[in-house]
Structure 1
Amino acid sequence: MLCRNEVRGALLYLLIVIATYFFFQTVIVITHEHIHSTTAFLLGNMQNPLAIEWGNPITLSGWDEGVSYSSLFASGLGVHAAVIAVMPLIFHAVVVTCGIFILKSGAFVRRKWAFHLIFWFIIVNLAELIAYMPMRSFSSHGDIGNINHGLGLSPWPAAVFGTALVLIWLWYLLRYVLPGMNAVVTPGSKVNKYITLIVMAFFLFLFSGGIRLAEANDWIMGTIAFIAFFLVIWFCRPEMSWVIAAEEAALM
């Protein structure tokens, strides 16, 4: 049984994790839309790169970059539309790749709060990539739909290539970075390690993807997202021998 201090500490940690995630989510949503609009401005397809439509930073609804993709397609500027659509995804990919490399390198192994912030910044960006590439690869609208339409591509290249990239990122995240998070930020607290694991899996697979897909009656991708959520929790739980060994290795 947990004592009162342990419960209080776990609740405080949970609040810090959620506050960190939603702060970074707001930053990333605003950044994402402005990358779209700035790219459109640089290509001469938008007059004001600051003229995005603001939405709800918590539910992620109502946001729009203000780019008229239909006008671009009608004008024969499909390549411009594809470039505008893909640039934020490239940004997210660079952030995730660099973030994983930095944390895996051990550079922040003695800096608890810096590790915490970089970790959740990675999760926010990776959640964006998972929501777009594996889960919406066959969408006829949104960023992936605009990329495929603009370049005249089948959805399959985005689905295969995007899923492969996401699996690679997940492997390094779960195999090396998550154990490092346990060892550096929540050492000695199995409860807090579970909080990190469950909240991470929820935001990666359900919050920005699985739940919305299920609500939209996309039961195939929605079911895959829910399965991924439970599989990650099961195979990455703190008492697993490989997790314990990886935590020890992260501190060396």
Structure 2
Amino acid sequence: MTSSGFMNRKQEIRDAFVYLLIVLATYFFCQTLIVIIHEHIHSTTAYLLGNMANPLAIYWGNPITLSGWDEGVEYSALFAAGEGVHAAIIAVMPLIFHAIVVTGGIYLLLSRALLQKKWAYHLVFWFIIVNLAELIAYMPIRAFSLHGDIGNINHGLGLNPWITLVVGMPLVLIMLYYLLRHVLPGMYGMVAGDSPLKQYVILITMAFFLFLFSSGIRMAQAQEWLMSLICFLAFALVILSCRPNLPWVVAEEQQFTEKIKQAGHELKTE
């Protein structure tokens, strides 16, 4: 390797490391924001249904580990009072919010709106990842839980957990398909450019946050070994099947790059 090649490689490593730090800062900022929004959607829904006196009275926890957070809704009292439907509505509303954010975010990134806005594209992408990670943590990971949001939904509506799984799981898989098949290659071309290291930073951190950080590792800590294994297998599968050098990824990235060039040309001619 020539000295210039060595310097270029060193600069690429430095740029990839800096981008990794930016990703971590972006993710944890978005995660903190989403946790606060999630709990306040619970409490606000309970307030609007007349089941909570103050929608701001949530319990604040650790924004990094996600421990200690609670919306302050007394679900046991609701079930005891025969208001199971109210409990289910309160439990499901944040999940609907996450689904809307993911769907709308994917639509936005697949449109032409952000083709000339690299950092806006970056921010929307990681905001999607935070919300999709929340959905994955609930479906399928906690589909059979007797507690938490899914447990309260099933209990409140008298649903068999399999019904929740059959309804929720396909929606999550469709979101994952569009994210990995179309949005991820766009992220490679838009943000990482021609840097393979940056592309792998995006791929590995995305897969880690989607399947391990909020799901696989926490399931292992709770000794839920089957669910933990599923999450680790999903992590490995995404890494192997979405590598930047795969032909389908390269073809999709090239199409996205052409869209960027075309959008730039249109802006110049306006």
Q: TM-score band (shorter)?
A: over 0.9
Give the letter for the 2:113 counterpart. A
Q: State the Cα deviation string for residues 118-172 of structure 1 (Å, max 9, x = none).
A: 0000000000000011100000000000000000000001112211111100000
Give the letter for the 2:183 counterpart. V
Question: Counterpart of 1:244?
Answer: 250
Q: 2:110 aligns with which of 104, 107, 111?
A: 104
Alignment of 1:74-113 (within 5 A): 74-113=80-119
Which secondary structure state, in structure 1, belongs to the residue aligned with residue 82 of structure 2?
Answer: coil
Question: Counterpart of 1:63?
Answer: 69
CA-CA distance at 1:244 after TM superposition: 0.5
The CA distance in 2 between the partners of 1:161 and 1:186, in whole Å, is 35
Alignment of 1:15-54 (within 5 A): 15-54=21-60
The CA distance in 1 between the partners of 2:29 and 2:41, in whole Å, is 18
Alignment of 1:85-164 (within 5 A): 85-164=91-170
Which secondary structure state, in structure 1, belongs to the residue aligned with residue 63 of structure 2?
Answer: coil
Which secondary structure state, in structure 1, belongs to the residue aligned with residue 134 of structure 2?
Answer: helix
Asked if 2 retains the 8 angstrom alpha-carbon contact of 1:25 and 1:124, the reply is: yes
Give the letter for the 1:140 counterpart. L
Give the letter for the 1:160 counterpart. V
The CA distance in 2 between the partners of 1:106 and 1:166, in whole Å, is 24
CA-CA distance at 1:66 after TM superposition: 0.2
The CA distance in 2 between the partners of 1:245 and 1:5, in whole Å, is 27
Aligned length: 252
Matched, 1:3 2:12: no
Give TM-score, length-normalised by structure 2.
0.92
CA-CA distance at 1:20 after TM superposition: 0.2
Give TM-score, length-normalised by structure 1.
0.98
Q: 1:215 aligns with which of 213, 221, 226?
A: 221
Q: Which runs of 4+ in 1 moved over 6 A?
A: none
* Larger radius of gyration between Structure 1 and Structure 2: 2
Asked if 2 retains the 8 angstrom alpha-carbon contact of 1:104 and 1:177, the reply is: yes
Asked if 2 retains the 8 angstrom alpha-carbon contact of 1:46 and 1:67, the reply is: yes
The CA distance in 1 between the partners of 2:160 and 2:192, in whole Å, is 44
Which secondary structure state, in structure 2, belongs to the residue aligned with residue 185 of structure 1?
Answer: helix
Give the letter for the 1:36 counterpart. H
Q: 2:181 aligns with which of 175, 189, 193?
A: 175
The CA distance in 1 between the partners of 2:9 and 2:221, in whole Å, is 39
The CA distance in 2 between the partners of 1:121 and 1:64, in whole Å, is 22
Give the letter for the 1:94 counterpart. I
CA-CA distance at 1:110 after TM superposition: 1.4
Give the letter for the 2:177 counterpart. W
CA-CA distance at 1:4 after TM superposition: 2.4
Asked if 2 retains the 8 angstrom alpha-carbon contact of 1:209 and 1:225, the reply is: yes
Unaligned runs of 5+ in 2: 1-5, 260-270
Task: Percent identity, please.
Answer: 67
User: How well do the aligned residues superpose, as a CA RMSD in angstroms?
Assistant: 0.9
Q: Which moved more, 1:209-218 or 1:222-231?
A: 209-218
Give the letter for the 2:237 counterpart. L
CA-CA distance at 1:109 after TM superposition: 1.4
Unaligned runs of 5+ in 1: none
Give the letter for the 1:199 counterpart. T
Question: Counterpart of 1:234?
Answer: 240
Q: Which moved more, 1:168-177 or 1:106-115?
A: 106-115
